[in-house]
A and B are shown apart, each in its own frame.
Chain A
Amino acid sequence: MYGNAYIENNGQENKLTANEDPQKLAAFEARIAAGDKIEPHDWMPAEYRKQLIRMIEQHAHSEIIGSLPEGTWITRAPGFRRKLALMAKVQDEVGHAQLLYSAAETLGKSREDMINDLINGKSKYSNVFNYPAVTWADSAVIAWLIDAGAIVNQLANSKGSYGPYVRALDRICAEESFHLKYGHDNVVFLATGTPKQREMVQDALNRWWEPIMHFFGPSDKMSVHTEVLMRWKVKMGTNDEMRQTFLDMYVPKIWDLGLTLPDTELKKNEETGKWEYTEPNWDVFKQVINGNGPCNKERLAVRRMAEEKGRWVRRALLQKDAQYVAPLS
């Protein structure tokens, strides 16, 4: 489950590729333009490697941290079938993190370094996971709409240029289709239930709407940097394009259930075909992504505990002659 990468927009194109061999760069770009994939030991510009590591790593962290707000509800899931489904979903998310860490490792950063950067707060993850799942209805809204947003983004990224990331995403997208159905089923159950159940799901939707609008990130400044990343098929669409796709697919489904969204300006402009909405508060977004959200400290403390408490077992199992080699693909 992941929104768009939080990419810094700075630098001029000539600076981005200033130290690269022009012939190799031309061959690299021709390969991508032809729809071919780049594989781990291929020549690639330093900037390509750097941005991909950042993006895949953020994605991996988002999967592993994203399992925490939902995991909260496993012990209190209403009914056995929902408990089984939620456990399966949480296991999937953790598994996705493993696939993605491996993909990032092929670019030269070890899993230990990535997890350290997560725990230290140096690497980011999707901002939505810094909010709590207050009721069962929150877990339903997360499973439906946050996963829906993630699928919009992941389907786009699965057409990208880096082989290992694309392969991981193909598997992830296939697995996440059940998450979406499961989440929708839970929301529909509440929305078509008793007045109290409807109220619960409406409250959850009101709480999550702004984080969902934040999920795709602020409008991209169409900088030279963004253009280069799009030409290299690292970034597959602008944040606004992803947000529009999501709104187009899911707002009608939400309204169809007689639920409302807490933005009176939200409507589709039939002339432009674009959704119009109140710009979410991006200062809040920046505050939360920089560590001041309601759950940032808890999420990192839980992750830290897992490393800390498991350390003695891992150390006991470590073989003296073990040799680390990055995954092949």
Chain B
Amino acid sequence: MKIESLDPRINRAALDADSQDGILQEMDHFQTYEVFEQKKRGTHHVHVGSVHAPNSELAMMFAKEQYTRRGACVNLWVVKTSEIFVTQYEDSDIFENTASKLHRDPNSYKVMDRIKAFKERQKNNA
């Protein structure tokens, strides 16, 4: 049975309503690439999503269409998802630090107190 449509383009395509063709096999839609966008010079590239593509050039083209249709973009990166090494959320204890991080805090270094005390001692000794 041929599909009848209001759309002349679809009538011209003479589509068979009972076709069983078109079933996809694994990898028919290729591998995925992750997309990183830089909105403005001087800022970091930020991960915005992914695309399916057969190679880097087409991944770049799809990424441009998909993620830069709106707003500013000055630079794009694409990288195969399979090339990215990631941590697991269940292992997030690897990011745990010591409870006290005073040694990373600039205000925890009180050199002026020490210098003042030193100068005081010198005056008294003189």
Contact = CB atoms under 8 A, between A and B. Distances in A.
Given A175-B70, A305-B15, A41 B30 contact: no
Interface residues of B, number: 44
Contacts of A315: 28
Contacts of A105: 32
A50 to B, nearest CB: 20
Interface string A91-106: 1100100110010010
A42 interface: yes
B22 A174 contact: no
A110 B26 contact: yes
B61 interface: no
Contacts of B34: 327-328
A167 B46 CA distance: 13
Interface residues of A, number: 53
Contacts of B66: 95, 98-99
A318 B30 contact: yes
Contact of A325 (B5, B31, B47, B88): B31
Interface stretch (A112-120, A152-160, A280-288): A112-120
Given A99-B49, A311-B28, A317 B58 contact: yes
Interface string B1-40: 0010111011001011101011111111111101000000
Interface stretch (B79-87, B102-110, B115-123): B79-87
A325 B81 contact: yes
A303 B9 CA distance: 14
Nearest to A43: B90
B27 A301 contact: no
A contact face: mostly helix, strand, loop, or mixed: helix
Contacts of B86: 328
A123 interface: no
A298 interface: yes
A173 B65 CA distance: 18
A329 B15 contact: no
B78 interface: no
Given A298-B10, A305-B22, A41 B89 contact: yes
A305 B5 CA distance: 15
B82 A42 contact: no
A295 to B, nearest CB: 8
A42 B28 contact: no
A319 interface: yes
Nearest to A102: B50
Nearest to A71: B7
Interface string A171-194: 100110000000000000000000
A85 to B, nearest CB: 13
A167 B90 CA distance: 21
B22 A307 contact: yes
Contacts of B19: 301, 304, 308
A43 B54 CA distance: 31
A55 B23 CA distance: 22
A41 B28 contact: no
Given A98-B66, A298-B5, A302-B15, A328 B84 contact: yes
Contacts of A42: 89-90
A322 B69 contact: no
B65 to A, nearest CB: 7
Q: Report, nearest first, the 10 A-B pairs whose CB atoms are least far apart.
A: A304-B22, A327-B50, A317-B54, A112-B24, A308-B22, A307-B22, A301-B15, A325-B82, A72-B7, A325-B81
Given A167-B49, A311-B22, A317-B55, 7 more contacts: A41-B88, A42-B90, A116-B23, A297-B3, A322-B31, A325-B80, A327-B50
Interface of B: 3, 5-7, 9-10, 13, 15-17, 19, 21-32, 34, 47, 49-52, 54-55, 58, 65-66, 69-70, 80-82, 84, 86, 88-90
